[in-house]
Chains A and B, each alone.
Chain A
Amino acid sequence: MRNIYDFEAEKPPALNENVLRDTLEKKRSKRLALLLMFAYLPVYATAALLAARAYKTDQILTGICIAFIAFSALGSLLCAAAFSVKEDRKHECSTINGNK
């Protein structure tokens, strides 16, 4: 029978308690990150509420709130984009190194 995977070609990854714990922590961290993204939504809601309330008479406050939402959304988008590009590169490098 012909094997579809050559088990002799590479060593299996070292598996110990620490590695398992790290993996578990990373999974938890990802869940927390997701939770934090939703936790920040009330802050946007607060700013939007203030902007709407102040629209008729306090346009400066409305402007500040809208600027905050825009800056915050744009900033987080840029951070997320920069982070994902960096992660992609890291993943690419590790794949190349792994293939070697």
Chain B
Amino acid sequence: MSAVPSMAINNILLLAAIAALLVLAAVIIGGYVYRDAKRRGMYALRWALIAALAPALMGFIIYLLTRTPRTDGKSGLGGIGFVIASLIVIPIFLLYFASMLKNRDSGVRIKTPYNTALTFEAYCEEKDAQTAEKVRQWLDTLPGKNSTRHTPVGLLRYDAEYRGEPRRFYLAALPNTGRTPLIESGVVDGLFTSTLVINAMHSGDYYPDYTLYSFSLSGNEPDRFKAIIGVNELEVELTAVDYNPTVFYIVPDYSKVDYNDDLFLPDKLTIRKNSSEGYIGSSRHSFVAGIDIDERREVFELLKIIDSAELLDHLEAHGQTYSDLFTVTTVYGKRSEHVTHWDSVTFLITLGKESGDCIIFDESRNDFYYLKTDRSFYDRLSALFEP
């Protein structure tokens, strides 16, 4: 996160350096011409201004070609070597600084694990009636559902948070894209701004309503949103809402809630034991055994331990060697067919050989975190597989 502003500041400093060099060049030229013109009995100030301000050094070039002989009887170019050397070196530095400008790391992370573009009818099946009605009302306020020309694309945003980091959920209403458009979205980072681009290709069939596309972001919010539908580049009209309009589940932080029967929980946890050898970030696993845990209380207890774990620095986690690994997959019955659903991804749980801690790779909330807890959690998982 902290890298984002510093990157922008670096670019600002580099641009400031470029501007300072241009000013320096103008001052060197103006100073030289003023001194030289005085010695030649020319209009010193006028020529100095012309030389310093005329574009592309043209004023200076014209001065050099038109200046009269010196009135003091002396000859020579009068220290022009320094000026020329400066004017050769400064542009080279300008080019060097410009090449050092880096695209900012916007810190925007987007995750759309499966194509979440749904027709409104399919969307209603996924969502509760109240949310579907709110979305319907919003869709009715949007202009031109059958046109992709000059029509802004509607986008709803719901703000959530996990471990102090913002997580944003978006629902885009894409006009005239058919029932199952192919959508690619990504963040384009520029020198100073970042743009999230939603690129949708028409599926070829006719669908008279908006196609609803869910995606979520963690980290920073992009500066701009842009939608490209077919060949039309459209602006995006963003509206913040106080409900989750996407088809994604918002998983609570289980370390901060108490168990109750209505608590949102996965239908089961699938735990697999793997024989592995490697280091964090790179390894090979081979499946040993698997079990399902569907007792709600136990599911909650395991997730609570994971959410209570301490956040671990990536650098600290990487490079630790380990053997054997558990994978925990959260499975939600309603959408179990979406095996790569972002709420159904796995936790990797292992024991770091160097630290002796239980290390958890958590990818359950549209981002990835390394977490650390004591080895009792690892032992608890191991005990599940004991005969």
Which of B90-98, B164-172, B325-333 touches A? B90-98
Interface size on A, residues (CB 8 A): 36
Chain A CB within 8 A of B194 CB? yes
Q: A39-B91, A57-B195 are in contact. Are A71 and B98 (CB under 8 A)?
A: no
Q: Chain B nearest CB: distance from A81 CB in Å?
A: 10
In the complex, the answer to whether A36 meets B60 with C-beta atoms within 8 Å is: yes
B184-227 interface with A by 8 A CB criterion: 188-195, 224
Q: How far is A45 from B92 in the complex, measured between Cα atoms in Å? A: 10
Of residues 44 through 88 on chain A, the ones whose CB sits less than 8 Å from some CB of chain B are 45-46, 49-50, 53-54, 56-58, 61, 71-73, 75-76, 79-80, 83
Q: How far, in whole Å, are A71 and B58 apart by their CA atoms in the complex? A: 12
- In the bound complex, CA of A46 to CA of B59 (Å): 21
Interface string of B91-135 (1 = CB under 8 A from A): 110110111010100000000000000000000000000000000
Q: Does A7 contact B (CB under 8 A)?
A: no
Determine whether the beta carbon of A46 is less than 8 Å from that of B91. Answer: yes
A58–B58 CB distance below 8 A: no
Q: How far is the CA of A23 from the CA of B18 in the complex (A)?
A: 37
Chain B residues near A41 (CB-CB < 8 A): 91
A37 at the interface (CB under 8 A from B): yes
Residues of B within 8 A of A71 (CB): 55
Q: Determine if B91 and A40 form an interchain contact, defined as CB atoms under 8 angstroms apart.
A: yes
| Contact code string A18-43 (vs B, CB < 8 Å = 1, else 0) | 10011011001110110111011111
When A39-B87, A42-B92 are in contact, do A29 and B65 touch as well, CB less than 8 Å? yes
Separation of A42 and B87 alpha carbons in the complex (Å): 10
Tell me how many residues of B have a C-beta within 8 Å of chain A: 42
Q: Are B65 and A30 in contact, with the CB atoms below 8 A?
A: yes
Spot the interface stretch: B75-83, B144-152, B259-267, B315-323: B75-83
Q: Decide: B55 and A21 in contact? CB cutoff 8 A.
A: no
> Is the beta-carbon distance between A42 and B95 smaller than 8 angstroms?
yes
B65 with A49: CB separation less than 8 A: no
Q: Contact between B64 and A49 (Cβ–Cβ < 8 Å)?
A: no
- C-alpha gap A33/B77 in the complex (Å): 13
Please indicate the chain B residues that have their CB under 8 angstroms from the CB of A50 in the complex: 98, 101, 191
A-B contacts at CB below 8 angstroms, number: 115
In the assembled complex, B24 has its CB within 8 A of some CB on chain A: no
- Select the residue from A42, A53, A54, A75 with max chain B CB neighbours within 10 A: A42
Instruction: Decide yes or no: A37 and B77 within 8 Å by CB, A29-B67, A49-B98 being known contacts.
Output: no
Tell me whether A21 and B190 are in contact in the complex, defined as CB-CB below 8 angstroms, given that A33-B65, A49-B95, A75-B54 are known contacts: no
| B91 adjacent to A79 (CB under 8 Å) | no
Q: B residues within 8 A CB of A29?
A: 64-65, 67, 77
Q: Report B40-89 residues with CB < 8 Å from chain A CB.
A: 54-62, 64-67, 69, 73, 75-77, 80, 84, 87-88
CB <8 Å contact, B58 and A22: no
Which of B76, B97, B99, B103 interacts with A25 by CB under 8 Å? B76
B residues within 8 Å of A by Cβ?
18, 22, 54-62, 64-67, 69, 73, 75-77, 80, 84, 87-88, 91-92, 94-95, 97-99, 101, 103, 188-195, 224
Known: A33-B61, A35-B88, A42-B94. 6 other contacts (CB 8 A): A25-B75, A30-B65, A43-B56, A45-B95, A76-B54, A79-B59
Interface residues in chain A, defined as those with a beta carbon under 8 Å from any beta carbon in chain B: 18, 21-22, 24-25, 28-30, 32-33, 35-37, 39-43, 45-46, 49-50, 53-54, 56-58, 61, 71-73, 75-76, 79-80, 83
The 6 closest A-B pairs by CB, nearest first: A57-B190, A75-B55, A42-B91, A76-B56, A79-B58, A21-B75
